Amino acid sequence: MNHITFARIRIVFLKMTVGAGVTACLLSSQAASSRSHILNDAFVAEPNWRSAPPKYQIIDIGVVQRGDASQGLRVSAGGVAVGRSLARTGSRAFTWKKGRKIAGLPNLKSRSFCVSNGANDSGTVVGTCATTASGESRLPVIWQKGRVSQLKLPSGQTLGDATQVNISGIAVGSAGSGTSQRGVIYTADTGAPITKTGPNGSYFVTAIGINDAGRVVGQGVDPTNASRSVGIVYDIGSGTPFEVGALPDANGAVAFGVSNAGHVVGTSMMNQGPGKPFIWSQSREMVAIPLPSGTSSGSGKAANSAGWVVGDAGGQYSVPWLYDGTTTYRLADLIPANSGWDLSTNTSASAEGISENNIIIGTGVFKGLTHAYAMVPVSVAGA
């Protein structure tokens, strides 16, 4: 099994097209935790009947060291963005928040390639440190008050990664490699594999997202049908993992993100072919997100509690987009024409995170350089 967590962020060196699959099975809402269920019912993604597209300004997050490239990879509900600043000899994780400069984070000893994959609103950051840009000898790490330390791996494991952390300090990711890779829940002093299984014995290969209510999402495997992947969801402490289902003419999915209202987003496909983006909630089940014009496949990467979703679509180029519950917009069409940013005619562009006040984090090409960006709604730009 590919290390989706680390490969997902290697945009500068390799633009990854996601392929995997999810079952057509959908369990009832009884598997959800009571808190997640309440949140999800309270914040169903409703159509946004706006008469005009949203307007954004775009900000260059920058780099940790001059000459680096940078990638924006996620943003917390309150606007703490994370990613990495890359050189050929190594990379540094960073954090950023509106009104502040990029802040580099220290690397783990003996690991020259580090990336911050997720943060909570308290400033706790998690990620992965490795010996190469492709993720060799990868270890899960946590940054607290500017200091880095390794998260404890499950017993017997020597490899792992961390992808997201919630407001309670619970992180998720994976441990192991190949057929032994499994999703993991990390706390302050433990790393525990997710051993509970869903329909057909499906299990987590990697946990990619977690919300503040403890809903975990990621990629799973169906041992009865190895040709498809499972968009798998697990509410900590409340029961059995379940599957989000699949879009018509598909049999699988990968779940990349989960909002604090319980929306799950990702990509749905037949077997492990090209996928289409979706948003899922317990009240509306799985809904296809329209692709931007000129693209044929894509993935939803993150959602906020209003059901706004960001993701990437593919065709000749990588096209990041925003879905507001009704319409899908190319991000390139939402920023000023003279901004200097190219978000539509290159293979590095992405949209990876969206905050509760609709700040979007991703990667683009700015005046010929690959840099992380923050897109801030004009209505809150001066707040």
Decide: 348 and 341 in contact? Cβ < 8 Å: no
Read off the pLDDT of residues 296-322 as tens digits, 9 standing for 90 and up: 999 999 999 999 999 999 989 999 999
Q: What is the dihedral of CA 25, 277, 74, 163, to 10 degrees?
A: 30
What does the block give as tokens for 246? 């699949």
Q: Tokens 């494991």 map to which residue?
A: 157
pTM over 0.85: yes
Q: How far apart (Å, rounded) are the C-alpha atoms in residues 224 and 202? A: 8
pLDDT in tens, the chain (383 residues): 444 444 443 333 233 332 332 222 222 233 333 333 333 333 344 444 556 899 999 999 999 999 999 999 999 999 999 999 999 999 999 999 999 999 999 999 999 999 999 999 999 999 999 999 999 999 999 999 999 999 999 999 999 999 999 999 999 999 999 999 999 999 999 999 999 999 999 999 999 999 999 999 999 999 999 899 999 999 998 889 999 999 999 999 999 999 999 999 999 999 989 999 999 998 888 999 999 999 999 999 999 999 999 999 998 999 999 999 999 999 999 999 999 999 999 999 999 999 999 999 999 999 999 999 999 999 754 44
pLDDT value for 242: 97
Burial class (CB in 10 A: 0-12, 13-18, 19+), 9: buried
How far is it, in rounded angstroms, from Cα 234 to Cα 206? 12
- Which residues have a Cβ under 8 Å from the Cβ of 89 and sit 6 or more positions away? 112
Tell me how crowded residue 285 is: count the other CB atoms within 10 A of its CB: 12
- Where would I find the H helices in the chain? 4-7, 34-42
Q: What's the rounded Cα separation, in Å, for the pair 74 and 237? A: 26
Distance CA 220, CA 228 (A): 9
Contact 173, 184 (CB under 8 A): yes
Collapsing DSSP to helix, strand or coil, 39 comes out as helix
Per-residue CA distances from 58 to 51, 118, 167, 333, 338 (Å): 22, 21, 27, 12, 11
In this structure, the number of other CB atoms found within 10 A of the CB of residue 288 comes to 13
